[in-house]
Structure 1
Amino acid sequence: MEPIARTFGQTDWITITLMASLLFPIIAKSIYYPRFLNFIILPFNNKYISMYTKKEKLFNWFHFLMSVFQVINSTLFIFFIWRSYFNPTEAKNPYIFPLLLAGVFLFIGTKTMAQLFNGFIFNSYNTFNELIFKKLTYLNYSGIILFIANVFLAYVFIDSKIIIIIALILFLVINIIGWITVLNNYQKFISTYFFYFILYLCALEIAPLVIMGSFLK
């Protein structure tokens, strides 16, 4: 019997990526089980937000683990969007996903640092820290949706545009809930710095999305 040469295809590295990303919530669950349970019901109950906003905020291991999980799956989802809608030929390039992953890490990291820097400028670091924590918590939760979508896009409904649209809608719904929570909790702060808040939205929320959309094209 002659050995059969097997090529390392896209499904292989996608499987490895999905399994690797899954390690992070598994570790988070095993170490921070009560916190993980509160996190899972986040869209239906804001107990997680009320319990942990004042305690550890951005810089804690649970938040870090779930953020890495979210970033990996966000990047993989962006890859599927790019492959399905924009450039299926170049998507076969083995360097595309690592470049996208580095770009998303850099994007979120730079954006977060810029937002915290705004907190220093307005002498409201703690408020900005809490605000960013809440937004990123909902973003991290949406990583679960993207993980499920990625599994479907990789193995069940391969590159299905319907799955992509459904996942995007759910992603937006979860993050809109997060934004509504932030706006409700910080109405007084926002009204005090309303002009700067509009500048913040344009510079650090809308503009980066436009840039990312232009990059995908």
Structure 2
Amino acid sequence: MQTIERYTEPLDWITIIFLICFVMIVIVRNLYNQRFNDFLSILTSNKFMLFKGKENNPFHGFNILLFSVNALSISVLIFWVYKFYHNPTTEDFALIYIRILTAYVCFILLKFGVEKIISNIFDMDQAIDLYLFQKLSYRNYIALLVLPVTLLLIYTVNINDFWVYGLGSAILLANLTGIFNIFKQYQRLITDNWFYFILYLCALEIAPYFILYKLIVVYQMI
């Protein structure tokens, strides 16, 4: 019987990243037990959003740890999709991942900073701070849901266009659902300030992603 050589790509560094993510989740679970339990129920209860949002502390250890899990895991997913379409060399894997992680974190933090500055200019700090907290909480929650799917995609399933478009559509739908739920809470405020709301929506929720898309297209053409 003739043996067939099987080539497997080195995934040790990705395994380490997932291990770091799970360690941070365990730390969050143990250090902030009640807060974490409330966080896991944000789809069925407003308790976490209403009570924790009033603290107005984006640099709370709970938020920092979950955002770190968010950035590490989502960057792995983006890298895996990039690898599927561009097939880079194995030696470039780590460098490409670091670039994706850096770009992702910088984009989120820059967008967050701009929104904070604008809220200060228009004297809407309290409302915008709560909105930013809720939006970040939804995205951290989505990242936790995506984490096991990313594990499945990397270690057991052969990636294809169906997985890419299906998962991408699911993440987009989940983000839009979260934002829609937040906007429902501010329905009265939006109605009274509809012009500023449309301006905010176009300038800070649509334009950044459109610019990012254009930059990615230009980068691919170089």
TM range (shorter): 0.7 to 0.9
Ranges in structure 2 where 5+ consecutive residues have no aligned partner: 1-8, 218-222
Determine helix, strand or coil for the equivalent of 1:200. Answer: helix
| 1:147–1:215 CA distance, 2 compared to 1 (3 A) | farther
Kept in 2: contact 1:82–1:91 (CA 8 A): no
Per-residue CA distance 1:9-28 (angstroms, 9 max, x = gap):
54111111111122222111
Q: Distance in 2 between matches of 1:163 and 1:91?
A: 22
User: Unaligned 5+ residue runs, structure 1?
Assistant: 1-8
Question: Which residue of structure 1 lines up, in the alignment, with residue 137 of structure 2?
Answer: 137
Q: Which amino acid aligns with 1:65?
A: L
TM-score norm. by structure 1 comes to 0.86
In structure 2, the residue matched to 1:196 is: 196
> What does residue range 1-217 of structure 1 map to in structure 2 within 5 Å?
10-85=10-85, 87-89=86-88, 93=92, 94-217=94-217
Tell me which moved more, 69-78 or 194-203: 194-203
Taking a change above 3 Å as real, the CA distance of residues 102 and 10 of structure 1, as seen in their structure-2 partners, is farther
Q: Residues 162, 47 of structure 1: CA spacing in aligned structure 2 closer, same or farther, 3 A cutoff?
A: farther
Is the 2:66–2:140 contact (alpha carbons within 8 Å) kept by the matching residues of 1? yes
**C-alpha distance in 2, partners of 1:191/1:82?**
41
State the shift of 1:35 in Å. 1.1
Answer with 72-81 or 162-171: which moved more.
Answer: 162-171
Distance between the aligned counterparts of 1:35 and 1:206, measured in 2? 31
Identity %: 26
Displacement of 1:178: 1.6
Q: If the length of structure 2 is used for normalisation, what is the TM-score?
A: 0.85
Distance 2:10 2:210 in 1: 28
Query: Contact 2:56 / 2:130 at 8 angstroms: preserved in 1?
Result: no
Q: Is the 2:56–2:129 Cα contact (8 Å) retained in structure 1?
A: no
Q: Which moved more, 1:136-145 or 1:21-30?
A: 21-30
CA distance in 2, matches of 1:132, 1:91: 38
CA contact (8 A) 1:135 1:179 kept: yes
- The count of corresponding residues between Structure 1 and Structure 2 is 209
CA distance in 2, matches of 1:164, 1:43: 25
Amino acid corresponding to residue 30 of structure 1 in structure 2: N
1:139-176 Cα distance to aligned partner (Å, 9 max, x none): 00011122112201210113344333343333233322
Shift >6 Å, 4+ stretches: none
Mapped contact 1:145–1:171 kept (Cα < 8 A): no
Cα distance between partner residues in 2 of 1:13 and 1:215: 28
